[in-house]
């Protein structure tokens, strides 16, 4: 495991299938060991090696899978230390400890995902057979709603395959009218118009809290090459990808972020004030105040974006706004991409639809923030099935785009 990839991740340890890699910053330590249920709590069996800047990293260790494993660090052979980057804590008769979960595929899982991939290619959004699409989303949900599936290399590889194919398609597609929309991950979408390719909240899943997939480094490079403009609603890792932003800035491309939520973004981004629409190469971009209330009232500034493309398509992206009554748009959008993750503290998903349509009906809804695997089922990881059920009863047409899928709106 590459040290640079691990250092800087917000959660630890790094687990892929049945293999765990421990890392911790402890500049004053002389030795660091990982001891736990996976090695009988024996000293010296899993030493971490010192790296630059006080970081310690273990070799990858194979452990039982699927399963749950408790562990602590042992500093200088005598002091126990709980992993500060692991928020999974347990307490039992031996005292406190952090834990991690491992993953093992059921037989045939990779082949089934290959089948889903092929079926979706033959049944694209809009023109594909709706029963086949329903079956594919159902099978996919069964995997994506497993709590520890974020540790599965098979799911990660499925994602890489779908996104790589989307990158080729974005490169080759010419748009003469309207807009073509690709879904990448979570709430991240790419829009191609006759003159511009831009993204909103595009992330690669390499840097998402509690996910940190080791996907090929060239994916963020390719994305930065394809995008003329990146627009970001707020600085959370499932919406804002530091590696992609850095590549964009290196390539002298524009990354628009909210001026009021600027803290934490790297130098070189272009802040935009709320309610001061800005033109960018034929597109009009209007940011409005949003609030992301979560974790018992911790409140994060984010914005919603209303974007009118050069081809005259009005797009509204809500970011992580939690649907306080003030959600407004100047005119009903042609395409609405709302957050739909089921954790708005104020409103259940059913109520969200009412609020979204209070100011008029959108032309098309593409629900966002579904199956975000760093969140937990019932804790922000809404299933494709739940989203579809909500929208089936709704008066506005909708399209659900799976990873890498696209839809032409004209």
Residue placing its CB nearer to Fe ion in the complex, 174 or 298: 298
Residue placing its CB nearer to Fe ion in the complex, 287 or 374: 374
The dihedral through the CA atoms of 77, 30, 35, 90 has a sign that is positive
- Give the residues lining the site for Fe ion (CB under 5 A): 238, 320
Q: CB of residue 290 vs Fe ion: minimum separation in angstroms?
A: 12
Residue 29, both tokens: 């330590």
Q: CB of residue 292 vs Fe ion: minimum separation in angstroms?
A: 7
Q: CB of residue 236 vs Fe ion: minimum separation in angstroms?
A: 5
Residue placing its CB nearer to Fe ion in the complex, 26 or 369: 369
Residue placing its CB nearer to Fe ion in the complex, 83 or 341: 341
Q: Is 307 within 8 Å of 315 (Cβ atoms)?
A: yes
Residue placing its CB nearer to Fe ion in the complex, 132 or 300: 300
| Element of type H or E holding 250 | helix 242-250
Residue placing its CB nearer to Fe ion in the complex, 133 or 339: 339
Work out the number of other CB atoms within 10 angstroms of the CB of residue 347.
15
Q: CB of residue 232 vs Fe ion: minimum separation in angstroms?
A: 12
Residue 216, both tokens: 């090929």
Q: Give CA–CA dist 170/124, Å, rounded.
A: 15
Q: CB of residue 374 vs Fe ion: minimum separation in angstroms?
A: 9
Report the length, in residues, of the chain: 410
Q: CB of residue 327 vs Fe ion: minimum separation in angstroms?
A: 16
Residue 3, both tokens: 């040290």
- Which positions ≥6 away from 71 have C-beta within 8 Å? 13, 22, 34, 35, 36, 37, 38, 83, 97, 98, 99, 100
Residue placing its CB nearer to Fe ion in the complex, 241 or 320: 320
- Which positions ≥6 away from 210 have C-beta within 8 Å? 10, 11, 150, 374, 375
Closest CA to 121 of 343, 405, 378, 373: 405
Q: Is 387 within 8 Å of 133 (Cβ atoms)?
A: no
Write the DSSP symbol of residue 159. H
Q: CB of residue 238 vs Fe ion: minimum separation in angstroms?
A: 5
């Amino acid at each position: 495991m590459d040290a640079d990839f691990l250092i800087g991740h917000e959660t630890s340890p790094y687990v892929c299938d049945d293999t765990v890699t421990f890392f911790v910053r402890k500049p004053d330590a002389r030795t660091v060991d990982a001891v736990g249920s996976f090695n009988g709590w024996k000293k010296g069996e899993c030493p971490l090696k010192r790296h630059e800047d006080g970081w310690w990293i273990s070799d990858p260790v194979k452990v039982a899978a699927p399963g749950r494993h408790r562990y602590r660090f042992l500093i200088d052979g005598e002091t126990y230390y709980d992993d500060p980057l692991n928020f999974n804590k347990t307490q039992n008769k031996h005292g406190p400890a952090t834990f991690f979960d491992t993953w093992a595929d059921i037989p045939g899982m990779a082949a089934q995902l290959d089948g889903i991939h092929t079926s979706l290619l033959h049944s694209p959004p809009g023109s594909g057979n709706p029963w086949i699409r329903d079956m594919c989303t159902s099978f996919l949900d069964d995997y994506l709603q497993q709590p520890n599936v974020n540790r599965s290399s098979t799911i990660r590889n499925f994602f890489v395959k779908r996104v790589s194919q989307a990158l080729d398609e974005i490169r080759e597609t010419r748009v003469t009218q309207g807009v073509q929309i690709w879904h990448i991950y979570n709430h991240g979408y790419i829009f191609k118009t006759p003159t511009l390719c831009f993204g909103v909240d595009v992330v690669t899943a390499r840097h998402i809290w509690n996910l940190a997939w080791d996907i090929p480094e060239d994916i963020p490079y390719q994305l930065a090459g394809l995008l003329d403009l990146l627009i970001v609603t707020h600085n959370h890792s499932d919406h804002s990808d530091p590696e992609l932003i850095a590549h964009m800035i290196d390539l002298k491309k524009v990354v628009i972020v909210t001026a009021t939520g600027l803290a934490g973004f790297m130098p070189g981004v272009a802040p935009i004030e709320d309610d001061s629409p800005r033109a960018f190469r034929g597109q009009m971009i209007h940011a409005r105040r949003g609030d992301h209330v979560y974790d018992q009232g911790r409140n994060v500034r984010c914005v919603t974006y209303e974007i009118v493309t050069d081809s005259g398509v009005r797009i509204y992206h809500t970011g992580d706004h939690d649907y306080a009554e003030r959600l407004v748009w100047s005119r009903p959008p042609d395409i609405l991409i709302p957050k739909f993750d089921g954790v708005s503290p104020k409103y259940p998903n059913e109520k969200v639809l009412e609020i979204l349509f209070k100011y008029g009906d959108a032309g098309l809804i593409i629900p966002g923030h579904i199956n975000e695997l760093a969140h937990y089922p019932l804790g922000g990881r809404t299933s494709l099935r739940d989203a579809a059920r909500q929208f089936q009863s709704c008066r506005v047409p909708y399209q659900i785009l799976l990873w890498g899928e696209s839809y032409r709106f004209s």
